[in-house]
Amino acid sequence: SYELTQPPSVSVSPGQTATISCSGDKLGDKYACWYQQKPGQSPMLVIYQDMKRPSGIPERFSGSNSGNTATLTISGTQAMDEADYYCQAWDSSTAVLFGGGTKLTVL
């Protein structure tokens, strides 16, 4: 079955660039999206169709998807960006699929 793999955790200093990866077989052939989830809150879409930002999402959030890896990049990371991040794709055999999530720590 199709799987999406994310690193369990990523750390970044304030103002630096955070990069979170999401790996899956030929993931670049599918659309990937990303969600941010803060403690006690519902997930929020931050990137869809690989690189598009929903209205209201800061420009420091960007995405890419090629080969076997989709990447979420947060430039000039702020303390408020500390959260869990989940990638998601769609596969004909397993429908909607989420990665295991990455805890982003800003320290």
Partner 1 sequence: QVQLVESGGGVVQPGRSLRLSCAASGFTFRNFGMYWVRQAPGKGLEWVGNIWYDGSNIYYADSVQGRFTISRDNSKNTLSLQMNSLRVEDTAVYYCARKEDFGEALDYWGQGTLVTVS
32 and 67 in contact (C-beta within 8 Å)? no
Closest by CA to 47, choosing from 63, 30, 59, 65, is 63
Q: How far is the CB of 101 from partner 1 (least distance, A)?
A: 4
Q: What span, in angstroms and rounded, lies between the C-alpha atoms of 71 and 32?
A: 9
60 and 71 in contact (C-beta within 8 Å)? no
Q: Binding residue for partner 1 (CB under 8 A) from 12, 22, 27, 35? A: 35
Q: How far is the CB of 7 from partner 1 (least distance, A)?
A: 13
57 counts as binding partner 1 under rule CB under 8 A: no
Query: Which residues of this protein are in contact with partner 1, per CB under 8 A?
Result: 31, 33, 35, 37, 42-45, 48-49, 54, 86, 88-90, 95-101
